[in-house]
Amino acid sequence: MSLEELLGVIKNFEVVDLSLPYVERMPVWRTEPPYHRIPTEGPELGKPYFRSALLFLHEHHGTHVDAPLHYHKGKKSIEEFPLDKFFGPCLVLKVEKKEGENVTIDDVKKWEEKFGEIKEGDIVLVNTGWYKRWKLLPEGKGYLINMPGITEEAAEYLANKKIKMIGVDGSIETYKPVSGSGYYPGHEAFLTRDIIIIEGLTNLDEVPPRGSFFLGLPLKIRGGTGSPIRAVALVPKK
Ligand SMILES: [Zn+2]
């Protein structure tokens, strides 16, 4: 295919932004320091107009990916994956969940009955509708509490299919895992098999169940346990 032909095909797709903004008072996990953007411009820079800023950005702030090293000592860090790991055809499993509910294996199988089997290499994005609760703090403090998750059974089912990546707008973990157990079935199921996890997705209502292309490249952080990404979907125009 020539470049002209490829550009002709791309014209039939629109770009949907699946990323949350990086902004002061964005919700972050309680184990992480808050996000800050500190302007570094000073009068010594003089003219012409220069502006820049220092970011206090955690690897797992906002819309980001988790590398196996996030959960397992000695496993792969984010920059060790080839870039083609981070894009490909995507499926969107829309299963609306409320506070404290989990996506079950039944939800996944029902989706498959309706939209077709999930296969090896698919990028699976789970849309629970939770992303609509994202707000700046303090109003948004409920966003990270009692998030819908994925049951262990559903996580194992998807991971055994050797999907390429799993993305969520809620949590990858089962709501209320056994506290203090040190065992996190969502991270275990996917990261043990080198399946990258995407967390903090938004705008998933704008992506149909099938037929779109996901892209979310990580920063090249040596030894990174994860990385912020700009997640987008190329969605066929109606
Ligand atoms: Zn993470």
CATH number at residue 95: 3.50.30.50
For the chain, the domain total comes to 1
Residues 6+ apart with CB under 8 A from 199: 60, 63, 64, 65, 66, 167, 168, 171, 172
Position 38 in a domain: no
Question: What domain range is 221 assigned to?
Answer: 3-27+59-236
Position 161 in a domain: yes
Position 54 in a domain: no
pTM for the model stands at 0.94
For residue 105, the CA-to-ligand 1 centroid distance in Å is 23
Position 41 in a domain: no
State whether residue 55 is helix, strand or coil. Answer: strand
User: pLDDT tens across 18-46, in order?
Assistant: 999 999 999 998 889 999 999 887 656 55
Position 53 in a domain: no
For residue 78, the CA-to-ligand 1 centroid distance in Å is 11
Residue numbers of the chain with a pLDDT score lower than 50: none
pLDDT at residue number 148: 93
Position 128 in a domain: yes
For residue 11, the CA-to-ligand 1 centroid distance in Å is 33
Question: What interhelical angle do 105-115 and 152-160 show, nearest 10?
Answer: 40
Position 223 in a domain: yes
pLDDT at residue number 183: 74
C-alpha–C-alpha distance, residues 233 and 124, integer Å: 12
DSSP state letter for 42? -
For residue 210, the CA-to-ligand 1 centroid distance in Å is 25
For residue 189, the CA-to-ligand 1 centroid distance in Å is 15
Tally of helices (H runs) and strands (E runs) in the chain:
4, 13
C-alpha–C-alpha distance, residues 217 and 64, integer Å: 9
For residue 45, the CA-to-ligand 1 centroid distance in Å is 37
pLDDT at residue number 30: 84
pLDDT at residue number 182: 66
CA distances from 176 to 41, 154, 171 (A): 45, 15, 11
Position 207 in a domain: yes
Within 13 A of 20's CA, how many CA atoms are on the CB side?
31
CA distances from 121 to 16, 25, 94, 95, 102 (A): 21, 36, 19, 21, 24
